Amino acid sequence: MIKTLGANPLFLFPDPLTHINQLSGACFLYFERPVCITPPPAVVTQEAFQLPELVEARRPEWGGTYFNILNQWMEQQRQFKLAIDLLTPLKEKGYCASVYLAYPANNSAIERVDDMLAAAGLSIQDAARFARLPEACSELVRHIHLECFLEANKDIEQLYQHCGNILKLGSIEDLLLKCYLLRPSSCDHFRSSGAFSLLLTNHSLLELFGRMPVEQPKAENLTKDLVDIAGWEIFWRLISPHLDPMTPDDVASIIEIREKKADESKKLRSRCGTLAEQLDLTADHKSIVAQIDRLVRADLSPQIATLLELDQKALRDFLVEVFGDEVTWLACAGAVGGLLSGTLPLTAGAAVAAMSNLGAKAFKVAADRRQKLKESDYTLIYSLSNR
């Protein structure tokens, strides 16, 4: 399916879409290419779901843990359906796509997570700050009901015993952490798509990618690309209060803007990038926020008013509301400053590109030899997190 998405697809990554709040309506105005969203891990081996009946009947001491994990997966499936139903009009217009990612969740894949952490100089305990429990539970459900079931030759009794061994061990927390990192460690599942970009749902993963042993890329378009990402940081925070959390009316507004105000939307996107370049990034974050506020009111107000159909009073009230969220704009100042004056986004982007081309094992080998991989390519990483 990835091959049909066109040039340089944009993936919501690594978390599956399990609540509409994970996604901003601003995405569909800033990015002209489809936003590719993924469902929670699927389990196609329906026979494996004899296991819950067996656990219910026998009531082992680990049964409560098992059902807590299973319920997390079931709730994520339910929430995904609600979100995708809301986004259906955007899918029909080609503005977003639902993509099933094909990546392994067997024991070898879990070992690949160990390789990635080792290459980054991190322990499994360090990984706790990257992981999210609901998504980790969903990955573990897939690991048990698909991979372990197949490894057990579809023997439900053998699967029951194996599940008990997993859930009785004191290392269940470590296993959950590794399960969460299955997607980040399997970037090679993007290989068939060629160039791709990420819309990061978990900003802490930038640290993980940024610690990988890879040289910073040197490319002609680096400055232009980083300015585009910085422009997104500003555009998103300006438009999000008007469209988020998305409702059916907001979805209809997005479609109307895409179809009737494409030029105005493009102009505002460009102006946000230009604004980012004008900032004095040597100032502290509060001063940078004040600069953004001043420049938006002076230079971007007409474009915002036209795009969102706001009269003069409504525009004033809107900007007061937008810049009233100090935490959001302090995060924006930090993000823009890091993009235009730092190195982490470049190293992280090169690491993702290298993993998609070479796999996590190559990093482990390079780290063991105290070498850095040379990667001329890089992946653009946009963020959807206020950290």
Mean pLDDT of 62-85: 96
Q: How far is CA 361 from the centre of its chain?
A: 22
278 and 212 part of one domain? no
How many domains, in total, are found in the chain?
2
Q: Give the number of other CB atoms < 10 A from CB of residue 341.
A: 11
347 and 333 part of one domain? no
33 and 181 part of one domain? yes
Q: Give the number of other CB atoms < 10 A from CB of residue 250.
A: 17
Mean pLDDT of 149-155: 95
Mean pLDDT of 49-66: 96
**Domain span at residue 327?**
222-341
DSSP codes of every residue in 214-246 = BPPP--TTHHHHHHHHHHHHHHHHHHHHHH-S-
305 and 348 part of one domain? no
Q: How far is CA 38 from the centre of its chain?
A: 10
The pair phi, psi for residue 56, each rounded to 5°, is: -65, -40
Question: Per-residue pLDDT for 53 more than 60?
Answer: yes
85 and 148 part of one domain? yes
pLDDT at 1: 42
Query: Shortest CA distance to 360 belongs to which of 147, 196, 174, 213?
Result: 213
DSSP state of 385: -
What pLDDT, in 10s, does the model give residues 220-236? 667 888 899 999 999 99
Helices vs. strands in the chain: H and E counts, helices first? 18, 5
328 and 357 part of one domain? no
What pLDDT, in 10s, does the model give residues 310-361? 999 999 999 999 999 999 999 999 999 888 876 667 778 888 887 777 666 6
141 and 206 part of one domain? yes
DSSP codes of every residue in 310-367 = --HHHHHHHHHHHHT-HHHHHHHHHHHHHHHH-SHHHHHHHHHHHHHHH-HHHHHHHH
CA angle 375, 377, 381 (to 5 degrees): 115
327 and 351 part of one domain? no
Query: Shortest CA distance to 176 belongs to which of 135, 208, 209, 145?
Result: 135
d(CA 26, CA 304): 13
205 and 275 part of one domain? no
265 and 138 part of one domain? no
**This prediction's pTM:** 0.91
99 and 212 part of one domain? yes
Q: Is 320 in contact with 262 (CB distance < 8 Å)?
A: no
Q: Which residues, other chains included, contact 67 with Cβ-Cβ below 8 Å and sequence gap of 6+?
A: 52, 55
156 and 33 part of one domain? yes
